[in-house]
Amino acid sequence: MGEMTKKRSLNTFLLCFFSFFLTIACYQSWIFHMKELSSTWSLELLSSTTSYLFQALGVIIYMLFAYYVPDLTGSKLFITSVYAVLSLSLIPSMFSSTLTGTYFNGFIMNILVGAIWGMNLYGITFSTKTNLRFFVLGGGYVLAALSVFSQLL
């Protein structure tokens, strides 16, 4: 394997780690804030179910962007903008004093989480050799999940 391929795979791994770390931390923070506002079981069930649906919507939106505007989705400006908007959407989803505000802003955040996951999957297909894709994606996810959840213990 060439040096350039190793470097590209390592860069993609680091991007996956950062992406997953950020999105898992955002999601967990949102869930904990909702638990502060209301502790009912149905609320947690509703939020986890609908958040996955909104994340799937984010992946679909990114797929449509990648299909119809491929030059835009690969640009550093687009990628940076999605991360910036995710970071900004976390603020109202974490500090809203009402459950409705927390839900609404959290669902916007979950759409962006899905878009970031879509970016990761799309990027891996072009930047990583087939036999390394599992290690890049899975390794980045596992390392991020362990990093976030170790802070929760």
In 3D space, the residue among 135, 145, 142 whose CA is nearest the CA of residue 9 turns out to be: 135
Q: What is the pTM of this model?
A: 0.82
Rounded Cα distance between 19 and 120, Å, is: 8
User: What pLDDT band is residue 67 in, cutting at 50, 70 and 90?
Assistant: very high
Question: Which tens digits make up the pLDDT trace of 130-149?
Answer: 888 888 888 888 888 888 87
Secondary structure, 3-state, 117-130: HHHHHHHHHHHCCH
Rounded Cα distance between 113 and 32, Å, is: 17
In one-letter notation, the amino acid at residue 112 is: L
Question: Which tens digits make up the pLDDT trace of 8-22?
Answer: 788 888 888 998 898
In 3D space, the residue among 107, 127, 108 whose CA is nearest the CA of residue 14 turns out to be: 127
